[in-house]
Chain A
Amino acid sequence: MSVFGGVFRQSSARLFSTGTCARTRMHAVPKLRELDRWTEKRGVFGVYDNIGILGDFKAHPKDLIRGPVWLRGFSGNELQRLIRKKRMVGGRMLTEDKHSLDKRISFLYRRFNRYGKHR
């Protein structure tokens, strides 16, 4: 409609807008975060993920995961994660953390196995 008014002078379109459509106000649109898509980390993300199939199966992709010992190559719900944490790391935890862990395990055990529809 009034978009082409400025380009082709020979046509009979208006040079001004009568303001009937597109009344969206764009004054408070936040700016996109400026991200560098080619940092060191982002550029080589995912390299060696196929180290098993391309590398003679000497390593497994789960060996690449960096994180807590009890979570490398493991996934489970909260109770399973806490039990695994207690078995692997419980011996060297601090007393208060160990106490919270034990309390949380017993709470989750009772909740999953005694109450509700799925027991």
Chain B
Amino acid sequence: PRDFSPQFISSVSGESALPSNLRLPPNLIGVAPQKRASPSGSDLPVLRRCEADIPAHLAPAQTWLESLGSRDSEPLGVVDLHPDVFSVPLRLDILHAVEVWQRNFKRISHAKVKSRAEVSGGGRKPWNQKGSGRARHGSIRSPLWRGGGVAHGPRGPSSYYYMLPMKVRVQGLKIALTAKLAQDYLHIVDSLEIPTPDPHYLLDLVKHRQWGDSILIVDVGDEFPQNILKATEDMKTVNIIPAIGLNVHSMLKHESLVLTLEAVKFLEKKLLWHDVRYVPLYPFKLPYSDLP
């Protein structure tokens, strides 16, 4: 039988056989990582239950608890995650609003141009009103003139500051966490202890477990283990931040999110409080008797 395999022709000798528009780039994002087994049907014990009460009609979301200790370690167990933080309806419009807010509220534009009053000179009438035959003008720095001021240009440092309501920002965080969990980009780790301060160890681990190109590591507290600090110091795409610094833009920028168990507990406590709190009578930064 005739051989029906496609025969490839190259117009230029020396290049690879496929034409350039059919060659796949080696770092193609579309190649899906192998899906992990879902933790619901496994024998490993549930190592962490949610502290807050879960509503009766919802079930906790579950993920694997992993360890950074060695490259090939198996998951240690299963972790319960509160559904009101990790399984909220995915409102992409809220996510977009929070991301745009993060980009713009800090922005101060320093663009400024001189108006006709600020450009030097131009106080005297250049020629008489009548008689010279030229068009009538009052100053040489009016916006019509070359070298004159700008009529409606950007004026002075201006700010683009605005605040979204607190609950919208909180909901944005919850939606981002839900999205990371739903797309398999969330990893829970028991602690950030690694055996060597070598950055290659982390890179190797990330590549082996197919975590993605960029990792955001989140832990509670001021101190981190020295090894992981040294390892991530010079790495651009692997960043470590305290839990207070978590935000939607960083979560969207980094492909994978790695949380420790204490970070999960901290985030759940902080984000669930906004569902049950009263309307503030005065700003929260002033002392309340029941707030810590």
A residues sitting closer than 8 Å to B (CB atoms) are 3, 6-10, 38-39, 42-58, 60-62, 64-68, 71-75, 78, 81-82, 85, 100, 103-104, 107
In the complex, chain B residues whose CB is within 8 Å of the CB of A71: 108, 157-159, 161
* B244 CB–A CB distance under 8 Å: yes
Q: Taking chain B's interface residues, is the majority helix, strand, or loop, or is none over half, making it mixed?
A: loop
**Is the pair A47, B250 in contact by a Cβ cutoff of 8 Å?**
yes
Chain B residue with minimal CB distance to A101?
B156
**How far is the CB of A37 from the nearest CB of chain B, in Å?**
8
Per the bound structure, the CA–CA distance linking A65 and B21 in Å amounts to: 46
Q: Across chains A and B, which 7 residue pairs bring their CB atoms closest together, nearest first?
A: A46-B249, A67-B108, A38-B236, A57-B284, A47-B245, A71-B159, A75-B161
**Is the pair A75, B169 in contact by a Cβ cutoff of 8 Å?**
no
Per the bound structure, the CA–CA distance linking A81 and B266 in Å amounts to: 40
**Is the pair B118, A100 in contact by a Cβ cutoff of 8 Å?**
yes
In the complex, chain A residues whose CB is within 8 Å of the CB of B284: 52, 57
In the complex, chain A residues whose CB is within 8 Å of the CB of B248: 46
**Is the pair A81, B158 in contact by a Cβ cutoff of 8 Å?**
yes
Q: How many residues of B contact A (CB 8 A)?
A: 53
**Is the pair A53, B270 in contact by a Cβ cutoff of 8 Å?**
yes
Per the bound structure, the CA–CA distance linking A46 and B176 in Å amounts to: 14
**How far is the CB of A42 from the nearest CB of chain B, in Å?**
8
* B276 CB–A CB distance under 8 Å: no
In the complex, chain A residues whose CB is within 8 Å of the CB of B118: 100
Q: Taking chain A's interface residues, is the majority helix, strand, or loop, or is none over half, making it mixed?
A: loop
**Is the pair A75, B159 in contact by a Cβ cutoff of 8 Å?**
yes
Fill in one digit per residue for B149-164: 1 if any A CB lies within 8 Å of its CB, else 0. Answer: 0000001111111110
Chain B residue with minimal CB distance to A57?
B284
Per the bound structure, the CA–CA distance linking A69 and B266 in Å amounts to: 34
**Is the pair B285, A58 in contact by a Cβ cutoff of 8 Å?**
yes
* B246 CB–A CB distance under 8 Å: yes
**Is the pair B244, A54 in contact by a Cβ cutoff of 8 Å?**
yes
Docked complex: B267-292 residues within 8 A CB-CB of A: 267, 270-271, 274, 283-285, 291-292
**Is the pair A107, B117 in contact by a Cβ cutoff of 8 Å?**
yes
Apart from the given pairs A60-B285, A78-B158, A81-B158, 9 other A-B contacts in the complex at a CB distance below 8 Å: A6-B11, A38-B237, A39-B236, A43-B239, A45-B250, A50-B246, A53-B271, A54-B243, A74-B159
Known: A38-B237, A49-B102. Is A9-B7 also a contact (CB below 8 A)? yes
* Contact of B245 (CB < 8 Å), options: A38, A48, A81: A48
* B166 CB–A CB distance under 8 Å: yes
Per the bound structure, the CA–CA distance linking A52 and B243 in Å amounts to: 12
* B115 CB–A CB distance under 8 Å: yes
Docked complex: B210-238 residues within 8 A CB-CB of A: 214, 236-237
14 A-B contacts, Cβ less than 8 Å apart? Answer: A3-B21, A10-B4, A43-B253, A47-B245, A51-B245, A52-B284, A53-B173, A54-B243, A60-B285, A65-B161, A67-B157, A68-B157, A104-B115, A104-B117
Per the bound structure, the CA–CA distance linking A52 and B246 in Å amounts to: 11
In the complex, chain A residues whose CB is within 8 Å of the CB of B194: none
In the complex, chain B residues whose CB is within 8 Å of the CB of A9: 6-7, 9
Per the bound structure, the CA–CA distance linking A10 and B102 in Å amounts to: 56
* B127 CB–A CB distance under 8 Å: no
Chain B residue with minimal CB distance to A39?
B236
* B203 CB–A CB distance under 8 Å: no
